[in-house]
Structure 1
């Protein structure tokens, strides 16, 4: 599509390619052995690139002819603005690119990206890189360019570093283990439970559909638009979890807590070299909701992560009370909005204002709780109005 060479003090060049089968294979070869965020995994890129009307591109950054960074992006039109962003939009969290550490400087990378995107055959008004992890496994994220802003959302995790039977003997986990034993007795009274993981494409399809239904009901109760409702989004997640099963170690997996053969809680998780991350979750609003099936499933998922030798169990993006019960690691995420045209400048100004307001709201617990309460009441009023 386009090639841009950063000259002078810089020696990086950036090439844009359509993310077709050939580019996907090249990306898989480069990213397969490197540290990446969940939404930069090749399986994720494949799933989102195949959706109708998708405009996926691959940015390949080279130094002296050798590839040092690859980044899959999608180009979307929002409010008349052409935006290049991480694939999956708001579903892409804790973003971290595949790159060779020590070979990519932030200043020259920003120059190469700007030159490539403004020289491309397609028009891009804004490069929007949101919810980026500042580092991962000791490597700093080169995409957190100068001028990056703190994201309104935090990422929360609990540090592990030992098998679960060791952790539950510590002061931090002793109370959780006691509560878990009490919870087990309550589940025994209703016939027990089973933790299941989807192991076939049919099982992933069924469990995803269950999750979509449960989450839609929860969003409706909270007065929040359902980000999983669009058909292309659901199709992408169906492809993602089905394709992941063909990998030697599936990087994306679905778990369910079942009682009487019915899922009462569902989680979708990504599996990295140092962590398991809960990408999404939902619980059933039924007679067993009082037994906190989501809390029990998280306990079992955290046990799995600890026994696998993970350093962290990551609850993903978003600050919620149920996460705070576990989390002792708080990570600031970062956004970069790079205007590439005059239209892009106006859009970036609006994005920056919106992000600043969201940051102020979400970082003030009292204001955020008031906002959520009002939103929930308005949703209830709308439901009753007909």
Structure 2
């Protein structure tokens, strides 16, 4: 079934009067500064977006990382007949083999990708709205590669779930919390006891503490430590150091220093004593969800007391006590994540052809991601792939 046909079949169920799209105009903005006022206005309450799409996080990514990768800003602003913004899509455009591909800004550094929606419009979106939007993008791009999108955000459906979609390659471990609930409702008493006995060793250290970095000096000091320690940790795990790629370190520093509400665009939580930083976790928070972005822990002998898990317990309790209802630990099913997160966030990918040239590209992208997902799901194949990589790496 073609994309248009798939959408028509869904539209047919909508009442006749609502067939017309509320989208009357679509602007393509190729300049971050020009897009900034509308973008920031859509970050205010009454809008639907994830904290990964904040201007202060994606702006530095686009300027420092995206541009270096040959990605140009492709910011889509959809408006109603009165020219009120209904939606902003923070995309970037790349051209490979003659195919223009638009994808979300943020690359491998964002766990979730989504537009910034007027929440009332998002709740009423029908296929005709998306048809109108896509029709107006055809002149500018051949294919949309929209990966790692949450099905829902804060109890509201992501309107792009109406597009043809497939499950994302990797899951995202999720902890649903009862705001203000008893500590055992989020972390079992037996697990807490185990962590407490390990923490006794750390508590003996002078100046041992958990805190959220609030001053620029603290943020910079913790990041200096992170960029020194993380490469050693990644080398130990035989993983490529994504933080060494051009522009990445400066992008992270800029976002961690950018003020945002009561915190920063990226918040840094730390466990430390007077002599050393023991562990850090950095992530984004929006009043309801904390989402982890990157972490590392000390190379000293204190690493044996599970400082990462102790820090995670502190973070979970901190946000639960502030009325947060969920917390996720980023893409991937590392063992430690399962100690805290029993569920998974439902995330999907959409590869949407806009032109005939984009059709083949969308099929290829979809097949490639589907294949990667099958490999991930088959532990035997995964182990084999890892051994082959080690043998020939």
Q: Give your verdict on TM over 0.5.
A: yes
| Distance across 2 between alignment mates of 1:263 and 1:67 | 45
* 1:89 paired residue among 107, 112, 128: 107
Distance 1:342 1:217, change over 3 A: farther
| Distance across 2 between alignment mates of 1:203 and 1:129 | 36
Whether the 8 Å CA contact 1:126–1:339 is kept in 2: the answer is yes
1:46 corresponds to which residue? Answer: 59
* 1:27 paired residue among 39, 42, 48: 39
Whether the 8 Å CA contact 1:48–1:87 is kept in 2: the answer is yes
| Distance across 2 between alignment mates of 1:270 and 1:93 | 10
Shift of 1:233: 2.0
Name stretches of at least 5 consecutive residues in structure 1 with no aligned partner.
Answer: 1-7
1:220-252 C-alpha deviation (Å, 9 max, x unpaired): 233332222212222211111111x36444342
1:13-40 C-alpha deviation (Å, 9 max, x unpaired): 4221124323211111122222311221
Shift of 1:134: 0.3
Task: Work out the number of aligned pairs and report it.
Answer: 366
Distance 1:343 1:131, change over 3 A: same
TM-score normalised per structure 2: 0.83
Distance 1:21 1:357, change over 3 A: same
Name stretches of at least 5 consecutive residues in structure 2 with no aligned partner.
Answer: 1-18
Shift of 1:189: 4.7
Shift of 1:343: 4.5
| Distance across 1 between alignment mates of 2:186 and 2:356 | 56
1:193 corresponds to which residue? Answer: 208
1:291-347 C-alpha deviation (Å, 9 max, x unpaired): 111111111111111111111122122211111111122122111112334553333
Q: Does 1:153 align with 2:162?
A: no
1:3 corresponds to which residue? Answer: none
1:33-74 C-alpha deviation (Å, 9 max, x unpaired): 223112212322332243373622321112333321112112
Moved more, 34-43 or 77-86: 77-86
Shift of 1:78: 5.3
2:378 corresponds to which residue? Answer: 364
Distance 1:217 1:125, change over 3 A: farther
Q: Does 1:232 align with 2:244?
A: no
Q: Partner of 1:214: helix, strand, or coil?
A: helix
Matches within 5 A, 1:1-386: 9-12=20-23, 13-33=25-45, 34-51=47-64, 53=67, 55-65=72-82, 66-77=84-95, 81-104=99-122, 105-120=125-140, 124-163=141-180, 166-168=182-184, 170=185, 173-191=188-206, 193-243=208-258, 245=259, 247-372=261-386, 375=389, 377-378=390-391
Shift of 1:172: 5.3
Shift of 1:85: 1.3
| Distance across 2 between alignment mates of 1:159 and 1:114 | 34
Distance 1:188 1:203, change over 3 A: closer
| Distance across 2 between alignment mates of 1:242 and 1:226 | 22
Distance 1:222 1:79, change over 3 A: farther
Shift of 1:192: 6.5
Distance 1:111 1:276, change over 3 A: same
| Distance across 1 between alignment mates of 2:239 and 2:257 | 28
Distance 1:63 1:246, change over 3 A: closer
Shift of 1:83: 2.3
Moved more, 234-243 or 337-346: 337-346
| Distance across 2 between alignment mates of 1:254 and 1:268 | 4
Q: Partner of 1:231: helix, strand, or coil?
A: coil
| Distance across 2 between alignment mates of 1:9 and 1:189 | 67
Moved more, 151-160 or 55-64: 55-64
Q: Partner of 1:144: helix, strand, or coil?
A: helix
2:16 corresponds to which residue? Answer: none
